């Protein structure tokens, strides 16, 4: 099967990136990561990419006057690398229409909460502090809102009596590493159809 060429945007540790790299290397995920791009020069995600022999790029926000100009540069680099879709993996910037228009219906994000609850930063912390009994994570298509695009997959994670924010975050992350590669597999296999807010998954 033809592999889907993706660019991964990451600002941090890149454990979700690693999960995607590992599944692809194991032949379980028909994607090829053509570029890992970060807004943070010291993001460990870049080291993970280099170790896997994947091309990397850093685009510094301070070099661009607007978010749109920043995203125009990101689009140029991703397009030159041959990306057909984009996976945000711990990318802590809001993306603009400039990026979304370049990859229509092909920008995905992972969020560490059961959306629409707890969008924005620190979804796990918000859920823990709110006192929910079930936390979790969500993979969704990205639109112009904050974590508001159509939902592809979600995984619940029960909050245990002796959890603290750290233990809950770690268990949510384990589920992220399962559902993000799976969502990308469904995208790569052409099994996702968006109808309004609903994402249909064909088998």
Footprint of ligand GAR (CB under 6 A): 10, 12-16, 89-90, 110-112, 123, 173, 176
CA dihedral (160, 162, 164, 168) positive or negative: negative
Nearer to ligand GAR by Cβ, of 14 and 181: the residue is 14
CB of 194 to ligand GAR, least distance (A): 21
Nearer to ligand GAR by Cβ, of 41 and 190: the residue is 41
Query: Measuring CA to CA, which residue among 145, 105, 111 is closest to residue 16?
Result: 111
CB of 190 to ligand GAR, least distance (A): 25
The two structure tokens encoding residue 3: 């592999």
Nearer to ligand GAR by Cβ, of 165 and 200: the residue is 165
Query: Measuring CA to CA, which residue among 11, 24, 28 is closest to residue 74?
Result: 11
Nearer to ligand GAR by Cβ, of 166 and 203: the residue is 166
Q: What is the DSSP letter of 5?
A: E
Count of CB atoms within 10 A of residue 195's CB?
Answer: 8
Q: Cα separation of 57 and 193, whole Å?
A: 31
Type and span of the H or E element at 201: strand 198-201
CB of 135 to ligand GAR, least distance (A): 11
CB of 191 to ligand GAR, least distance (A): 23
Query: Measuring CA to CA, which residue among 115, 141, 138, 117 is closest to residue 195?
Result: 141
Closest-by-Cβ residue to ligand GAR is 90
Active-site choice (111, 122, 140, 177)? 111
Would residue 177 show up in a list of annotated catalytic residues for this protein?
no
Q: Which residues are catalytic?
A: 111
């Amino acid at each position: 099967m033809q592999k889907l060429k993706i660019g991964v945007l990451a600002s941090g540790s890149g454990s979700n990136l690693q999960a995607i790299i590992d599944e692809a290397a194991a032949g379980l995920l028909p994607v090829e990561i053509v570029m890992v791009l970060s807004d943070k020069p010291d993001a460990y995600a870049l080291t993970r990419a280099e170790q896997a022999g994947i091309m990397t790029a850093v685009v510094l926000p301070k070099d661009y006057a607007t978010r749109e100009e920043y995203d125009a540069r990101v689009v140029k680099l991703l397009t030159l690398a041959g990306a057909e879709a984009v996976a945000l993996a711990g990318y802590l910037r809001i993306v603009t229409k400039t990026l979304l228009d370049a990859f229509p219906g092909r920008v995905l994000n992972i969020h560490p909460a059961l959306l629409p609850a707890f969008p924005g930063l620190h979804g796990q912390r918000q859920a823990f502090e709110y006192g929910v009994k079930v936390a979790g994570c969500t993979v969704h298509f990205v639109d112009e809102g904050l974590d508001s695009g159509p939902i592809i997959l979600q995984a619940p994670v029960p909050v245990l009596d002796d959890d603290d924010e750290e233990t809950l975050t770690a268990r949510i992350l384990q589920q992220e590493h399962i559902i993000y590669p799976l969502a990308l597999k469904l995208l790569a296999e052409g099994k996702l159809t968006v109808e309004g807010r609903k994402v249909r998954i064909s088998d």
